[in-house]
Chain A
């Protein structure tokens, strides 16, 4: 069974077992505008919560996307190399950024559910 969580930094996490798929929310992609490049992480990279995992670049600026949890990258969305705009058109679907093996499931408790996130962005 999957469960979706949200962070204050406008990321979503879809958790299945000990694997989280991470992306940015529709609200975030709208704020960033048209993306032209996504700097993807390599599988095997270990991340601590708050580390920069991915850099997304719009026409105008580069923005960091942070690891929402401790863990290890297991996969990155290679489709974004040729089509970074997938993050704009399908932020919560095909525009996912990376998958990670969760090191500390307890950290999920600090995250928001959909209702909480909606309240967060007002």
Chain B
């Protein structure tokens, strides 16, 4: 159902022509599946190349003499230490160290950075960044782009055939290969892959080439979700929220150690306290016993029936071949192999804490 406030993707006509089934997500009318179905789409991405329209996500250019200082205030990030082309996974945090959004920031120049934000948080992020920017000599410019992801083991070859050179670009690097284009070697599937933001006319031309390659298949949001879940990647709004923090979420790897004491970022004091006290709950992988998926929102219990956290994402892992989930459990129960129980419609389903990811990442690192 397309409500009045639901945006249509600029390439909606291409998805309709490809037989997409649409659904609302984060204010956008998104392709959920194509006729191949979620299972085939998922497996195709792991074997060949999946093509995703992620134009619901938002690109911002942050630039100016104060751009790095602004980002160091907004994020637990040492943006001055980023090398040209280097991308970093980071966050906007509240004063209480809650996660407003998770982002990827790439250095494009001395005073120029690209910020990629989630669809559902784009408006909040922009307001937050603009508000903070008042104190810095920096500008925040939202871009109007089509944004596509090309993911899978054959992604680089497929792009090369379409005339896009990716040589020399490694995982978590990004650049502007031509005017108004942004390309990074990154993604949300656990596979090697690229994300390209570009003007609509350029996108239509590029997609014409990509879709003519038999290794390429359109992939909907349903498989995007199962791919990222198997890869152990967080969905903001589910697995991380303003009520969760990077320590409990197991995302401290994204925050340089010295920033925890010396950083200028919002939320530093609260995060330092959480780290000193120890996180109460931790985000973990969860593997339900048997075949029945355990979904987001399901309550968890320990062997004695005491509350023991909750599932924040759950479904079936087509590559794993079993149900996969993630969620939060008390720190004392967060070790891999610990058994907890999920209440699924009144049935007690055994669930084991499982290491993440469920399927190994296959990034192309330098």
In this assembly, does A121 line the interface, its C-beta being within 8 Å of a C-beta of chain B? no
**How far, in angstroms, from A36 to B319 measured CA to CA in the complex?**
13
In the complex, the answer to whether A37 meets B291 with C-beta atoms within 8 Å is: yes
Number of interface residues of A (CB under 8 A): 15
B134 interfacial by beta-carbon distance below 8 Å: no
Residues on the B chain within 8 Å of A37, using CB: 291-293, 316, 323
Select which of B38, B39, B316, B318 is within 8 A of A57 by beta carbon. B316
Mind listing 5 A-B residue pairs with CB under 8 Å?
A34-B38, A37-B291, A37-B323, A61-B295, A84-B291
> Would you call B323 and A36 a contact (CB within 8 A)?
yes
A60 within 8 A of B: yes
Q: Are B37 and A36 in contact (CB under 8 A)?
A: no
CA distance A3 to B32 in the complex (A): 36
Interface pair A60/B292, CB less than 8 Å apart: no
Which B residues are closer than 8 A to A by beta carbons?
21, 32-33, 37-39, 42, 222-223, 225-226, 291-293, 295, 315-316, 318, 323, 345
6 closest cross-chain pairs (CB), A and B: A34-B39, A36-B316, A59-B38, A59-B316, A60-B222, A37-B292
Q: Give the docked Cα–Cα distance between A65 and B206 (Å).
A: 43
Tell me, in angstroms, the Cα distance from A36 to B38 when the chains sit together.
Answer: 11
Contact A33 B293, beta carbon cutoff 8 Å: no
Q: Say yes or no: A62 contacts B39, CB within 8 Å.
A: no
Q: Does A74 reach chain B (CB closer than 8 Å)? A: no
Name the residue among A34, A58, A60, A62 with the largest chain B CB count within 10 angstroms.
A60
B interface secondary structure, majority: mixed
- In whole angstroms, what is the CA distance A91 to B347 when docked? 27
Chain A's closest residue to B293 (CB) is A57
Residues B291 and A60 in contact, CB atoms below 8 Å apart: no
- Say if the beta carbon of A103 comes within 8 Å of chain B: no
Q: Given the complex, which residues of A lie within 8 Å of B38, measured CB to CB?
A: 33-34, 58-60
Chain A, 36-68, contact with B by CB distance < 8 Å: what is the 0/1 string? Answer: 110100000000000000010111111000000
Q: Which of A31, A36, A59, A60 has the most CB of B within 10 A?
A: A59
Closest Cβ of chain A to B44, distance in Å, is 13
CB distance from A91 to the nearest CB of B (A): 14
In the bound complex, how far is the Cα of B223 from the Cα of A58, in angstroms? Answer: 12
Who on chain A is nearest to B33 by CB?
A33
